[in-house]
Amino acid sequence: MSIVQTTRPPAVPSTKVANFKPTLLQTEEHHLCPGCGEPVAIRLVLEVILELGLAQNNVCVIGHGCYGSFVMTLDVDCTLCLHGRAPAVSTGVKRMRPDVAVWTLQGDGDMTSEGLAEILHATARGENITCIMLNNGVFGDTGGQMTASSVIGQRTKNTLEGRDAAYHGYPIVICDMVASMQGSAYVARGSVHNAAAIAQTKRLIRKGFQRQLEKKGLSLVEILTMCPTGWFVPAAGGADYMMESLGKTYPLGEIKDVAAAA
């Protein structure tokens, strides 16, 4: 068996043989910090949209967070909304254009801290939209403060000793809440911490869009993403830290699928 040594650079440099940039991404340049997992997650969503033939038939509603700058580089119809209001805005878009695949792009601060009521009421109504939540447990765009999804013991800019349940309360596990409601069709949680997780997450995103196309109800796909800057860890250590902290509170996999239960 041939073993590839990965502890040092290869003697012969690799050669790029193809362009792997999704056609719906106008540039691979971005301003996000080294080690950030959000660009990987967004790339997966775009790949799914292309593969499902929705490139010319989708609308993205973007919340407030570091990912908001992607509104300038995504080659899809996008609109920004007030903090946390993406599910409500998406409701209006979907009801006016039921033929269009409507999806939200939100962070955990945007969805669970600022917009908890919006995602819950959209689920209660069974809106046929697909919601993507990028969860790193911090308000990255405003400096790395604690969110409602920050886990117990997690360091943030305003919980330097770690989140304390007695003082700050417990994290809101939004997927479990949405999955318990009748209006939800598909709920899953993925990650981008390694290649296997990335492949799995893409499959989860695909199902989230498929259930919308089948008019089953609201889909929510949570994606754990790295934020080394907000966590006070080196960029290379972000993936390990994420799974040692958020990964223990938020297990990966499918949580609800009405198609499987039928």
- On whether residue 8 sits in a domain, the answer given is no
CA distances from 222 to 1, 120, 162, 167 (A): 38, 15, 23, 26
Compute the distance between CA of residue 192 and CA of residue 203 in angstroms, rounded to an integer. 12
pLDDT in tens, 24-66: 888 788 888 899 999 999 999 999 999 999 999 999 999 988 8
Q: Give the position of tokens 């417990």.
A: 170
Residue 101's CATH number: 3.40.50.970
Report the mean per-residue pLDDT for the chain.
92
- On whether residue 126 sits in a domain, the answer given is yes
For residues 240 and 151, the answer to whether their CB atoms sit within 8 Å is no
- On whether residue 185 sits in a domain, the answer given is yes
Quick one: pLDDT at residue 19? 67
Compute the distance between CA of residue 10 and CA of residue 123 in angstroms, rounded to an integer. 50
Domain that holds residue 228: 38-139+148-157+167-261
- On whether residue 188 sits in a domain, the answer given is yes
- The total of structural domains in the chain comes to 1
Quick one: pLDDT at residue 243? 95
- On whether residue 26 sits in a domain, the answer given is no
Quick one: pLDDT at residue 247? 94
- On whether residue 9 sits in a domain, the answer given is no
Quick one: pLDDT at residue 4? 67
- On whether residue 33 sits in a domain, the answer given is no
Quick one: pLDDT at residue 29? 80
Q: Which residues of the chain have pLDDT under 70?
A: 1-2, 4, 16-19, 262
- On whether residue 18 sits in a domain, the answer given is no
